[in-house]
């Protein structure tokens, strides 16, 4: 069988009709598509007919992570599900995040990880290659997620190349003047970014003290913190709530224990009086 999110490749697969039923010749042998390949995805256990061979055993589907892409090449002419036609030799990118479903007509040439982006500035008002209106002097980044290759138009100029910022699970950074969801810088604001993560600094953004390591504390260690500006400490609120809950639980337990002790003492006294 082929479990979920897996596939296998069969060489010389059997021929099937429009209803996916196996075709047989006059002697009762299954007809084969010699030298052809068939990719089989998730399905129940199936038999291999005489002549069929497993060219690639059951293999997990390839996960393409963010800021990563697969460079693909068409081996044969074919038409994609969206109706786009590919000719043998065509190359294109499958960009993450997503799960790549292989095809017999397509070869994976390499995995590309976005490590650089172009810092671009508009020299006059125009509409960029992505169809977005740009104002004179506006700056933005062009990454692999936007397009595979970028040729600057006469209305824009390349300011420079921006390297990717990568944080491990034990690192963090503070971004000054972060760009908001509207694409405009939030002057005077700060944003904390925790690892594990990779990202590009937008035009106007910068790091405060660079990439920093997180504090790893033992049970006998603690940190003394000082607020540099007013804010709502949700962690402190959570700790206070937990402390209140623990106090309530302890009080209930103590009350139950005291009641049980009083009841036992009372019962012992009653028994003693009866015996006397």
Segment 95-109, tens digit of pLDDT: 888 999 999 999 999
The H or E element that residue 95 is part of is strand 91-95
Rounded Cα distance between 42 and 33, Å, is: 21
* 95 alpha-carbon distance from chain centroid: 12
User: Residue 54 falls within a domain, yes or no?
Assistant: yes
Rounded Cα distance between 206 and 200, Å, is: 10
- Structural domain count of the chain: 4
Rounded Cα distance between 127 and 129, Å, is: 7
User: Residue 185 falls within a domain, yes or no?
Assistant: yes
User: Residue 253 falls within a domain, yes or no?
Assistant: no
Rounded Cα distance between 219 and 242, Å, is: 18
Q: pTM of the full predicted structure?
A: 0.57
User: Residue 226 falls within a domain, yes or no?
Assistant: no
User: Residue 191 falls within a domain, yes or no?
Assistant: yes
The Cβ of residue 167 has, within 10 Å, a number of other Cβ atoms equal to: 18
The answer to whether residues 182 and 194 belong to one domain is yes
Residue 190's CATH number: 2.30.30.560
The H or E element that residue 250 is part of is helix 234-275
The Cβ of residue 139 has, within 10 Å, a number of other Cβ atoms equal to: 16
The answer to whether residues 48 and 8 belong to one domain is yes
User: Residue 104 falls within a domain, yes or no?
Assistant: yes
Domain range enclosing 53: 1-17+30-60
The answer to whether residues 10 and 55 belong to one domain is yes
Q: Please, are residues 135 and 122 in contact by the beta-carbon 8 Å criterion?
A: yes
pLDDT tens track for 130-156: 888 999 999 999 988 788 778 888 999
Percent of the chain with pLDDT over 70: 85
User: Residue 228 falls within a domain, yes or no?
Assistant: no
């Amino acid at each position: 069988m082929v479990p979920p999110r897996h596939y296998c490749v069969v060489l010389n697969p059997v021929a099937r009709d429009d209803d996916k039923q196996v075709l047989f010749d006059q002697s009762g042998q299954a007809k084969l598509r010699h030298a052809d390949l068939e990719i089989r995805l998730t399905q129940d256990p199936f038999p291999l007919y005489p002549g069929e061979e497993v060219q690639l055993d059951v293999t997990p589907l390839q996960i393409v992570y963010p800021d990563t892409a697969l460079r693909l090449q068409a081996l044969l002419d074919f038409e994609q599900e969206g109706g786009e036609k590919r000719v043998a030799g065509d190359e294109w990118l499958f960009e993450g995040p997503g799960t790549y479903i292989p095809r017999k007509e397509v070869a994976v040439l390499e995995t590309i990880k976005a490590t650089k982006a172009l810092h671009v500035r508009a020299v006059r008002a125009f509409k960029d290659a992505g169809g977005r209106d740009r104002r004179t002097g506006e700056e933005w980044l062009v990454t692999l997620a936007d397009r595979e290759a970028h040729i600057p138009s006469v209305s824009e100029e390349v300011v420079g190349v921006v390297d990717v910022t990568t944080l491990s699970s034990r690192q963090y950074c503070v971004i000054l003047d972060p760009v908001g969801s509207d694409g405009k810088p939030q002057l005077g604001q700060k944003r904390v970014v925790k690892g594990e993560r990779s990202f590009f600094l937008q035009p106007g953004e910068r790091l405060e003290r660079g990439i920093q390591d997180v504090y790893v504390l033992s049970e006998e260690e603690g940190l003394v913190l000082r607020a540099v500006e007013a804010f709502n400490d949700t962690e402190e609120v959570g700790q206070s709530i937990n402390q209140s809950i623990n106090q309530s639980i302890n009080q209930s337990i103590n009350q139950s224990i005291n009641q049980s002790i009083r009841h036992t003492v009372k019962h012992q006294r009653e028994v003693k009086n009866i015996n006397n």
